[in-house]
Structure 1
């Protein structure tokens, strides 16, 4: 399978798509924030973060005990992904994620 089709396969999973959507809205998020926003266990979030990392879509930075993730702006498909996700304006799960993110005091 080509690299391009693997990337789209990676993004076809709803949880990964929700993570990427949130990272389009916020400069960076840590796993603890993603757990609270997506209301999923740490193991699920970590597994999907790992998958996104394997496709080089994310950059990470460690601060104290926290690891923060951001979209890799250097990835050739980041702008395509951001444009694609902007068309999801009325998607219920993503709207709910954004609402929860705005209600939480972000930053661990």
Structure 2
């Protein structure tokens, strides 16, 4: 895949509001699916599908801890995304209102 195709695919991933919200959350801290579901008030299958696309596009990493999978940003290899990430609104307030995020 040439660089234009790679950038084009990344921009397609960023064209979805839910995926941008997920990236904004992950910019603040790593999270599991249940944390994201709680904050964005949507369904687990919806968030899982978006995370699958973001992982496939190389924008997020996943780390298994016991039975949970935690997601974090992976934009180091895509420096052209730094400017976009810098302009995403902070999600600190949304995270803070759910101080004890924890999957059941």
Same fold (TM over 0.5): yes
Aligned residues: 99
Number of the residue aligned with 1:101: 95
TM-score, L = length of structure 2: 0.82
Question: Cα distance, 1:5 vs. partner?
Answer: 0.9
Q: Give the secondary-structure state (helix, strand or coil) at the position aligned to 1:75.
A: coil
Residue of structure 1 aligned with 2:16, choices 13, 18, 31? 13
RMSD of equivalent CA atoms: 1.9
Q: Give the secondary-structure state (helix, strand or coil) at the position aligned to 1:67.
A: strand
Contact 2:75/2:82 (<8 A) preserved: no
Distance 2:47 2:68 in 1: 14
Extract unaligned runs of 5+ from structure 2: none
Extract unaligned runs of 5+ from structure 1: 90-94
Contact 1:35/1:41 (<8 A) preserved: yes
Distance 2:60 2:52 in 1: 9
Q: Give the secondary-structure state (helix, strand or coil) at the position aligned to 1:59.
A: strand
Distance 1:39 1:67 in 2: 19
Contact 2:75/2:81 (<8 A) preserved: no
Q: Give the secondary-structure state (helix, strand or coil) at the position aligned to 1:60.
A: strand
Question: Cα distance, 1:73 vs. partner?
Answer: 4.7
Contact 2:35/2:102 (<8 A) preserved: yes
